[in-house]
Amino acid sequence: MKKVIVVGATGLVGSKIIEILEQKKFPIKEIKFLASKNSAGEKIKFNDEIYEVKEVLLNEFEDYDIALFAAGSSVSEKFARNVAKMGVRVIDNSSFYRMERDVPLIVPEVNPDAIGKNDYLIANPNCSTIQCMAPLYQIEKNYGIKRVVYSTYQSVSGSGLKGLRDLDESLSEFYPYPIKNNALPHIDIFLENGYTKEEMKMVNETRKILGIKDLPITATTVRIPVRFGHAVSINVETKTDFNIEDVKSLMDNKLGMELKDDLEKNIYPMPIEAEGKDPIYVGRIRRDFSVKYGLNLWTVADNIRKGAALNAVQIAQLIERKGY
């Protein structure tokens, strides 16, 4: 039984973490909900009890076991390391610590052994990265990976409540252009190399999670007018040849994946079916004939659930199983 804190409890990801902790019956001895000063005083129902949200302050973390951070990079920068130094296992959903050498970046189905007994600060990967790791791990393990090309189709909920509002109310307040009836090849800020920060997150996080520092990867990330559910086209060049049916079997009910690939019945993964669901859906698995050992696949997952909250809770479950 653990004493658990959810930071950013009133936000989109924080509220989903709370929902999943309840659904998965995580063994909780005591729970506390923290948020910004503006949200302090709000009420949250959890396991038929009502809790009052408190402001994020360092002394609130004393004597707790696990803190799930879902309040953004600025809050994580200010509190996460200090909380970890207090002996609390911090699972951080922000991007702030992901590429720090001493911080494990974890997808529990793929690299659970990367968490050691002395790791008190653990990073949750980017939502689009998470849904690509299980299929790529299976491909790397069985055929080796020579190169990866990502093309993403990301829902507005990846931008939080402001992104949802822009779509639902036909605004362009958060995004630089209207998102309704549009597609924006612009997620996060542009960097000097011409890529967006989101694109480089996918490149760098994939290398870290798979443990292949020099893996050639490129990415184009696009925001589309869908409320929930990211889709990613993954093009992989493998080191050895493969059989398509064997590849499909590697994705079929393995490592949190569910195969949806029956072209005769028009069965393939779609965001509308992934919303509110746990699995990473994989389909459109086919050979890329433009290179010697080329492979195409299409993944879809609920970016707020699997791509953020569920992965964080699964890390907490992993810590519990390890007895840390």
State phi, psi for 222 to the nearest 5 degrees. Answer: -130, 135
Please name the residue ranges forming H helices in the chain: 12-23, 73-85, 127-143, 161-168, 197-210, 244-251, 271-274, 311-322
DSSP-derived secondary structure for 176-221 = SS--TT--BS--SPBPTTS-BHHHHHHHHHHHHHHT-TT--EEEEE
* 106 three-class SS: coil
> What DSSP element (H or E) covers 91?
strand 89-92
CA dihedral 92, 119, 78, 208 (to 10 degrees): -60
Measure the CA angle with vertex 128, ends 302 and 119; round to 5°: 100
Q: Is 186 noted as a catalytic residue in this protein?
A: no
Tokens of 279: 């699995």
Q: Is 132 noted as a catalytic residue in this protein?
A: no
State phi, psi for 293 to the nearest 5 degrees. Answer: -125, 75
How far is residue 129 CA from its own chain's centroid? 6
Number of neighbours of residue 169 by Cβ within 10 angstroms: 9
- Is the Cβ–Cβ distance between 262 and 317 less than 8 Å? no
Beta bridge partners of 152: 221, 232
For the chain, first and last CA: distance in Å? 11
Which residue among the candidates 32, 230, 305, 306 is catalytic per the annotation?
A: 230
Which residue among the candidates 56, 127, 202, 310 is catalytic per the annotation?
A: 127
CA distance 94 to 107: 14
Taking the CA atoms of 76, 79, 82 and 87 in sequence, report the sign of the dihedral they define: negative
Question: Which residues does the annotation mark as catalytic?
Answer: 127, 230
